Amino acid sequence: MADAQQTNQQNQNSAIIDSNQEDLGATNKPPYKREIFAIAGVSPEVLAVGMAKYSRSALSIKETISELTEEKSAEFHEKWVIGYGDASVADMAQVQIACENVSILASKVIEDNRLGSYQEKSTRYQKFDRGRFYKPAKIMQNPALEQLYEEHCNYLFDQYILILDKMTAFFMQKFPRPQEMKENIYASKVKARALDAARYVLPVSTLTNLGFSINARSLRHAISKMLGHHLDEIKEIGLEVKNAALNTAYNPQQTKITNFLNQMKASTNPELQAKADEISKLLSLQVKGAPTLIKHTDPKEYLQKIKLLSKEFTESIVRFNDMDAEKEIYDAGKVYGVDFVDEKISYEDELIATVFYEKSRYSFRQILNVVKSLTVEQKQDIINSLGNLRGQFDWLSRHYEIPGALIFDTFMDYGCFRDIQRHRLCTQINQELSIDHGYYVPKELVEAGADGILHETLKKNIEVYNKIAQEFPAEAQYVIALGSKKRTLFKMNLRELNHIIELRSKPGGHIAYRWLAYEMYEQVKQKYPLLMQHSRVMLPDFERDFFLR
């Protein structure tokens, strides 16, 4: 009986897009000529219904979208996506969002979604301007800290310019222009290298621009994560992204079309005036985002509670059981830290250690050793605590993406992380940015005699962070420079590892992530030489590859 009712309801819902079938006629009549074409000029919601038609109607998509209005599309989505939870329809609604003047810190949260495509303003090709940095309201409302914050951020920009000029002169002296290279090409390559070196003192409060393309289902999840974030800027961005998807999209052609129609309406020709009115009505269907599909974006309590539980367990279990809690995996003889965790790990231990990792400052191996020492009863209590947090409509969190992955506990500067984070096919568990792990000093700055500037700048950066963190520990992150190090746990399969190795070890990349990728290759090769024998890796060499970008 229930099946019959659902079938009846489905037939009624499908009528939204099937009702005109007899009048329109199907284009796919014998001999069924194949057609492949791109589609433009319709809203994401209309297009999503058009695509959904392939499973619910015999009509061509051309017939469907020509007859659809936003009202009919919204009615369809209300019944199928909202009412029946058929979220696959929302996958077909693609939304493009531009985010301008957001902090670098916020950009990494925005981009922390696997099913999206992102482009961000580059620290390699663009010089960042003094004074363009995010100002957290909580800090700005404290007169003493407001002055300290603004003065220090501007100081970091001044040091950025100082290092940029010094490194530009150094590179021009050490790497003179090859005779066959044009002046403008040479200048751009030197500038890129100098910007690479100078970025280490930029604060993560630096304002950047980014654009992304994402489907409505993934956008809904992304918005809910941002709305539940502990930083006000990211909560505000989440709300603004939601509004952008709900309201009329920016159309660069709209002004031109409006001016043209106004000229037609001003004509003394009645037929021309009538035609202008007719065109205006057709154009009144503004191309919007996906208002009906971007619903149910309230902050997910499940994800917030996972983080709180992670912090609680880290403090009460890991720190208590490990007296050497400040130990790090960093090897002073290497540029970056990569710990390839290749040992037999039970699925339960991996899950628990992964959850503990996110809200800690400890290495994964260190946490794992503590987890292994717990009793079966303790592990059961922890896993039960995690499972009980999940609501009826909550997806399991990333921590559950086990087993069978290659695990790398990485230790890199934040600037390097900005690039490596783009590999969203990996499972990434991020620890928050802090000053606990020190900062990175590039070899080229040492050679140029600019390392003294870096040391002076970042030592002062640590002092200012500590002062602000006494009052606002979360907002104090904004003042941290890109050269500061952080931990990130990467889990990936062999195919993704090879993709990272081959892409990130190439001469065109930043030397920081080139060494990180090469270290991944070396550590896996030592354990599994046969698996890595076909990896197209390149040994980083800064001087040899200077012009290869």
What pLDDT sits at residue 92? 67
**Token pair belonging to 473:** 């520990």
Tell me if 198 is assigned to some domain.
no
Tell me if 118 is assigned to some domain.
no
Determine the distance from the C-alpha atom of residue 489 to the mean position of all C-alpha atoms in its chain, rounded to a whole number: 16
Q: How many CB atoms within 10 Å of residue 11?
A: 11
Do residues 365 and 513 share a domain?
yes
Instruction: Give the residues across from 95 on adjacent strands.
Output: 214
Average pLDDT value for residue range 236-264: 79
Instruction: Give the residues across from 481 on adjacent strands.
Output: 203
Please classify residue 62 by burial: count the beta carbons closer than 10 Å to its beta carbon, then call 0-12 exposed, 13-18 middle and 19+ buried.
middle
Query: Which distant-in-sequence residues (6+ apart) come within 8 Å of 453 by Cβ?
Result: 159, 162, 163, 166, 445
**Token pair belonging to 445:** 């700055």
Average pLDDT value for residue range 195-223: 91
With a cut of 80, say whether residue 200 has pLDDT above it. yes
- pLDDT, tens only, 274-305: 888 877 766 655 555 555 555 666 777 888 88
More confident residue, 50 or 267: 267
- CA–CA separation, 223 vs 402, rounded Å? 25
Please give the full DSSP string across 90-157, using - where no structure is assigned.
GGG-EEEEEEEEEEHHHHHHHT--SSEEEEE--TTT-PPPTT-B---HHHHTSHHHHHHHHHHHHHHH
Phi, psi of 35 (to 5 degrees): -135, 130
Read off the amino acid at residue 334.
Answer: K
Average pLDDT value for residue range 353-366: 88
Q: How far is CA 72 from CA 16, 17, 62, 351, in A?
A: 7, 8, 16, 45
Do residues 306 and 274 share a domain?
no
CB 73 within 8 A of CB 292: yes
Q: How far is CA 411 from CA 263, 367, 428, 516, in A?
A: 62, 15, 13, 9
Tell me if 399 is assigned to some domain.
yes
- CA–CA separation, 423 vs 503, rounded Å? 11
More confident residue, 333 or 376: 376
With a cut of 90, say whether residue 235 has pLDDT above it. yes
Tell me if 199 is assigned to some domain.
no
CB 408 within 8 A of CB 340: yes
**Token pair belonging to 339:** 């710990």
Please classify residue 104 by burial: count the beta carbons closer than 10 Å to its beta carbon, then call 0-12 exposed, 13-18 middle and 19+ buried.
buried
Helix (H) or strand (E) holding 213: strand 207-215
Closest of 443, 428, 492 to residue 108, by C-alpha: 428
- CA–CA separation, 106 vs 111, rounded Å? 9
Torsion, Cα 139 143 145 148, to 10 degrees, reads: 120
What pLDDT sits at residue 251? 67
Angle between helices 494-504 and 511-527 (to 10 degrees): 140
The structural domain count of the chain equals 3
- pLDDT, tens only, 102-158: 999 999 999 988 888 888 999 988 999 999 999 999 999 999 899 999 999 999 999
Instruction: Tell me which residue has tokens 């999209």.
Output: 249
Domain range for 83 is 2-92
Do residues 361 and 425 share a domain?
yes
Q: Is the dihedral of CA 151, 157, 163, 168 positive or negative?
A: negative
Do residues 429 and 320 share a domain?
yes
Tell me if 32 is assigned to some domain.
yes
- pLDDT, tens only, 64-113: 666 665 566 556 555 545 444 445 666 667 788 889 999 999 999 999 88
31 preceded by a cis bond (ω within 30 of 0): yes
Do residues 269 and 327 share a domain?
no
26: confidence class by pLDDT, cuts 50, 70, 90: very low
What's the number of CA atoms in the CB half-sphere (13 Å) around residue 139?
30
Query: Which distant-in-sequence residues (6+ apart) come within 8 Å of 184 by Cβ?
Result: none
Least confident of 231-235, 259-263, 338-342, 533-537: 259-263
Do residues 416 and 314 share a domain?
yes
More confident residue, 440 or 6: 440
What's the number of CA atoms in the CB half-sphere (13 Å) around residue 5?
2
Do residues 265 and 325 share a domain?
no
Do residues 351 and 433 share a domain?
yes
Do residues 277 and 326 share a domain?
no
Regarding beta strands 207-215 and 406-413, do their DSSP bridges make them parallel or antiparallel, or are they unpaired? unpaired
CB 331 within 8 A of CB 363: no
Tell me if 434 is assigned to some domain.
yes
Tell me if 321 is assigned to some domain.
yes
- Tell me the CATH number at 424: 3.30.70.3180
Do residues 263 and 334 share a domain?
no
More confident residue, 530 or 93: 530
Do residues 268 and 360 share a domain?
no
- pLDDT, tens only, 300-323: 788 888 888 888 888 778 766 654
Tell me if 208 is assigned to some domain.
no
With a cut of 90, say whether residue 175 has pLDDT above it. yes
Please give the full DSSP string across 53-95, using - where no structure is assigned.
HHHH-SS-HHHHHHH--HHHHHHHHIIIIIIS--GGGGGG-EE
Do residues 349 and 273 share a domain?
no
- CA–CA separation, 194 vs 171, rounded Å? 8
What pLDDT sits at residue 283? 61
Average pLDDT value for residue range 356-368: 88
With a cut of 50, say whether residue 9 has pLDDT above it. no
